[in-house]
Amino acid sequence: MKIKYIFFTLSLLLIYSCGTYRINKTSGFVPLTDLQQLNGKYITQSEWTNKNKNLSYLLQHFNINNEKADFANLTFEEPNQVKLDYIVDSKEGAVEKKIVLEGSRKKKYLEIYFSKEQSFIPLLYSKINVQRIRIGKDKNGELLIMNFYDRSGNVLFLGAGSSFERGSHFKKSIHYTGLMPVCVDKKWGYVNAKNEIVIPAKYDFVYLFNHNAAKVKLDNKWGLITASGTEIASLEYDVIKSDFIYQKYPIYLVEKNTKMGMLDTLGHQIVPPIYDKIDRLYNAQFRIKYGDNYGFGTKEKIIIPAIYSDVEWFSTEGYVVAKRNNTTYLVDLEGFEYETELYNLHEIMFKNQTHRYKPILASKRKINFEEQFAR
């Protein structure tokens, strides 16, 4: 009996530790007498509040990750169907996209699975690959989508994986009070709440304003305008992406002639479009690549020009380990470079040290931005 108890306890611990425990957060939903109560045109970006800190896009909940639309129409039909349609930009102009999904009707929501793989041999093996959404209404009448994801498993007592369930709330477009895109004779502009045209329909495509800036397209080139129609970033970019949000403050990732750069919401160039790659955008310091060399930037400026053949990440001491000409340096957040020497073992024995190097302070020098072009 004792052995059975031990095996049972270990099984429970394994299930919980691998993230295979089913999460079912349904208290946010209210009962639905008819799915058609959810019909409507919705703003696709969820609203950030103190209670709802999960900024997300409605299309992503439907596994649409490579397209951007400001609004989406949802049309539900009993007992288990939803149709999603939205307008996106393409090289041929604005295109309407549609998808139809079927799920399982519950009392409070429509449940749709995108993957549902569960294999389990007690104490020996498990494999979980589940992704589902639940679509319903919250107590304020807004659309509520609960997104559940679980990818985990184990072999014997070695397990790994992750799972989460997050809710996002979306408002109908009738509650939007800013300038709205409008299409007139296949050209796009903006109207106010009274449906009066305030920015003429002269663009090939436009997006909603965000922090008083909007992306607009003309002759296959993108730029930024203000709510008064003033152009603050010229229509010269091949791509402008605004999916990167740094502490709720949008930063625009741009591409021009296959090179990448970044703009702020005032149209200023934070990073000129000369780089081959910009990545790690989820960090306060993102990485830039010029040719074969790397540096770093922030949402305000470039802090480390791309002059290093290899870079690690910023340590708790505020330095990044970087290599140039087979020599290891430390570089700080202000763009100062230091020659290095190795710590002695006793110097780092009781420190939370992430690397072996210490700066030689007498070698401190400021890196010149132009150095990256001489390599």
pLDDT tens, residue by residue, 273-322: 999 999 888 778 899 999 999 999 988 899 999 999 999 988 777 899 99
Predicted confidence (pLDDT) per residue in 327-351, tens digit:
999 999 999 999 999 877 656 655 5
Predicted confidence (pLDDT) per residue in 107-125, tens digit:
999 999 999 998 888 878 8
Give the start-to-end residue ranges of the domains of the chain: 2-174, 284-375
Q: What is the mean pLDDT of the chain?
A: 87
Tokens representing residue 260 in the block: 């990448």
Judged against a pLDDT cut of 80, whether residue 27 lies above it is answered with: yes
The Cα 309–Cα 292 span in angstroms is 6
- Backbone dihedral angles phi then psi of residue 309, each to the nearest 5 degrees: -75, -20
pLDDT of residue 20: 41
pLDDT of residue 113: 96
Judged against a pLDDT cut of 70, whether residue 14 lies above it is answered with: no
Q: Tell which wins on pLDDT, 327 or 356.
A: 327
Judged against a pLDDT cut of 50, whether residue 16 lies above it is answered with: no
Q: Tell which wins on pLDDT, 120 or 141.
A: 141
Judged against a pLDDT cut of 70, whether residue 246 lies above it is answered with: no
pTM over 0.85: no
Report CA-CA distances (Å) from 90 to 87, 98, 199, 220.
10, 15, 22, 9
The Cα 97–Cα 87 span in angstroms is 6
The Cα 253–Cα 47 span in angstroms is 22
Q: Tell which wins on pLDDT, 93 or 199.
A: 199
Predicted confidence (pLDDT) per residue in 211-220, tens digit:
889 999 999 9
